[in-house]
Structure 1
Amino acid sequence: MTAHPRLSIGLPVYNGEEYLAESLDALLGQTYEDFELVISDNASTDGTRDICHRYAAKDSRIRYLRLPRNIGASPNHNHVFNECRGELFKWASHDDLYARDLLKRCVEALDERPDVICAHADQAVIDGDGQVTIPYDYTLATGSPSAPVRFRSLLFEPGGDDFYGVLRADVLRRVKPLDSYHHADRTYVAEIALHGRFHQVPELLYFRRDHPNRAERANPSKRSRCANLDPLRAGPLHPTARLLAEYVWGFVSAVRRAPLSASDRRACYRHLAAWMTSRARPGAGERVEDRAPVDPALLTVSVDALVAGREGRPA
């Protein structure tokens, strides 16, 4: 590993032994190699530590950190970012998969477009076996030069995992750290988008795994999901009403903090008011994972052909 890698990948993990090795193989097999991989183990109680030690012994790009206690997913995401040194940064999930060219294409997109602050690629949902279940088109207007247009799109349209894109680290340092109320990741990405436009690489290179043990599935209620994000949210001082109010206020405060003109700020507030009204309508809050799976016979993509470490797997 170089003394100052250009890209830092932060991988927060808690009890990720089921899929961690697959994700590490996919990241370490990237065609773009100038990166460090910082793993922050949130006091896992399964085999996560052994897996991390084994991979770190084989690849000097890995820096393994272990927390003495479980601080929650959101503080761990912030912690691993603070430990990273690259001018570019990407969060990685311990259970997702990444095509070999994902980092290369995203870094190229940022180099070719100095005004772009986040680059990601087309994506699909995969199951526990790594098979595509729901490919989906990226329809968000995050590439618009208009901050209000980007903000409105992130409010109203489902899909997109821009949180896991390759970002300019200096922009992340200018936004409020990730919080732990309901859907805090959405307000976080919306605030980032108010600082500049995104670019979507038109290649299927990112595979988000949906499985029963994923945090969103294992914690069905809003309160349990937020307690997973931060154990301090588990007490009676954090009822559902507060978690939802903080969610709305997260958008308001993001607009207040962002470097916007007065007219753009007013436009963002109008979009937010329209969005709040729309939440009462049927179908509001659609999630990509809840769409009907596609017929496997209609798929032309092979995850095994695109992702390092999956070569030679049985069909």
Structure 2
Amino acid sequence: MSSVPSSRNEAQPLVSVGVPVYNAVKTIGRTLDSLINQDYDNLEIIVSDNCSDDGTYELCQEYAREDDRIVVSRNNENIGAGDNFLLVCRKSSGKYFFWAAGDDRYQPEFVGALVQDLENRPDAVVSLPQVTLEKSTGIPDCVVDFDGDKDPYTMPERELVRNLISFQTDMKYLRYNMFIHGLWRHERIKDLHLWYSFTRNMERPLLANMAMKYKFSYVANNLMTKRIHERSFKSRNPDDPISTAKRRTGLWGRYFFIFSLMFKDPLIRSSKQYAILASLIFEMLLKVSVHRLRFRAGSIRRFGRAS
């Protein structure tokens, strides 16, 4: 455990860090180390343990005793990953907020650089840096960036929304859904997030609706390392409510779910927003239809050669 003096510079805007955690004793220490060693002091770090049984809660309590910016609570029962994500956001009070997973790490400049970016761009609602993706073995996999024409701040609104909601292979690997892990203006996210889930790609409709009203900003510095898992969330958390809930499957079902959430959101009010959604619905339905026709044509050709 590393530690720094737990003083606050109240001249800086308060930044809240929500850390929803469950059975992460092997990695939560390095996550907390990277947070308390930020070169930005005015932090509150809200840890919500979801009934871990591997010593995670006890380790987090040790950190809280060393640094009074850390507040640790433990749920009476496992409320599921989604609700635990919502809980840490509801408990936060800062001008800015971000979610920190219990196996991610942050460079010391992470918070300061993103706060400065949002202070300089009042029309932006979230800021994200370059992100190194790391395998569960600890080996770096790749770096996600949004340089050049991929920069969401300068990207046409409809294009960004399309990139955020698409499950088509040619677009989903652009990884714009990673902006859920950026630094947010808390006043914009604290209530709207109640409509959504934050696991298994269902953060996409929230991000898409936010992108129709506010700018997304990008800092071209590599300031974050995110752990990726070879095993799915469902296989790692078979009893979680998100894993056991019935879901629409296939591309049709996913898009139906996404668009139904987007139309319910109070952010969607203008005729321009409705027009963007309508055009995207048509585009996605057309792409799914073409994809299915190609798949069927390929199946027929393979069957013909086999016979």
TM-score by structure 1 length? 0.76
2:209 corresponds in structure 1 to 191
Q: Which residue of 1 aligns with 2:43?
A: 35
1:100 deviation in Å?
1.2
* 1:129 CA drift (Å): 4.9
For 1:20, the equivalent position in structure 2 comes to 28
Helix, strand or coil for the counterpart of 1:25?
helix
Cα separation, 2, equivalents of 1:276 and 1:105? 40
The answer as to whether partners of 2:17 and 2:99 remain within 8 angstroms in 1 is yes
Q: Percent identity?
A: 24
Highest CA radius of gyration, 1 or 2? 2
The normalised TM-score by structure 2 is 0.78
Are the equivalent residues in 2 in contact too, given 1:150–1:197 (CA < 8 A)? no
Does 2:164 match 1:154? yes
- The answer for the alignment partner of 1:70 in structure 2 is 78
Say whether the 8 Å CA contact 2:204–2:258 is kept in structure 1.
Answer: no
Secondary structure in 1 aligned to 2:160? helix
Partner residue of 1:83 out of 80, 91, 115:
91
Structure 2 residue matching 1:184: 3-state secondary structure: coil
**Which consecutive residues of structure 2, in runs of 5 or more, have no partner in the other structure?**
1-6, 293-307
1:129–1:176 CA distance, 2 compared to 1 (3 A) = closer
1:96 deviates by 1.0
Deviation track 1:89-113 (CA, whole Å, cap 9, x = no partner) reads 1000000111111111100000001
Count of residues in correspondence between the two structures: 272
1:271 paired residue among 276, 280, 297: 280
Output aligned runs, 1:207-246, within 5 Å.
207-212=225-230, 215=233, 218=236, 224=238, 228=240, 230=241, 234=244, 238=246, 240-241=248-249, 245=253
Contact 1:126 1:208 in 2 (8 A): yes
Offset at 1:190?
A: 1.8
Q: 2:124 aligns with which of 116, 120, 127?
A: 116
Q: How does 1:132-211 map to 2 (within 5 A)?
A: 132-138=140-146, 140=150, 142-144=152-154, 146-156=156-166, 157=171, 158=173, 159-160=175-176, 161-177=178-194, 178-179=196-197, 183-211=201-229
- What does the per-residue CA deviation read over 1:11-44, in whole Å, with 9 as the maximum and x for residues that have no partner? 0011111111111111111111211000010111
Specify whether residues 163 and 44 from structure 1 end up closer, same or farther in structure 2 by C-alpha distance, changes over 3 A only: same
Relative to structure 1, the CA distance from residue 241 to residue 49 in structure 2 (aligned partners, 3 Å threshold; closer, same or farther) is same
Give the Cα separation in 1 of the matches to 2:199 and 2:38: 34
Q: Which runs of 5+ in 1 are unaligned?
A: 283-315
Q: Which whole-Å CA distance do the structure 2 matches of 1:208 and 1:85 have between them?
A: 25
CA 93–193 in structure 1, closer or farther in 2 if over 3 Å, else same? same
Secondary structure, in 3 states, of the residue corresponding to 1:33?
coil
Q: Deviations over 1:84-140 (max 9, x none)?
A: 111111000000111111111100000001101100101121123533221233265
Secondary structure of the 2:192 match is: coil
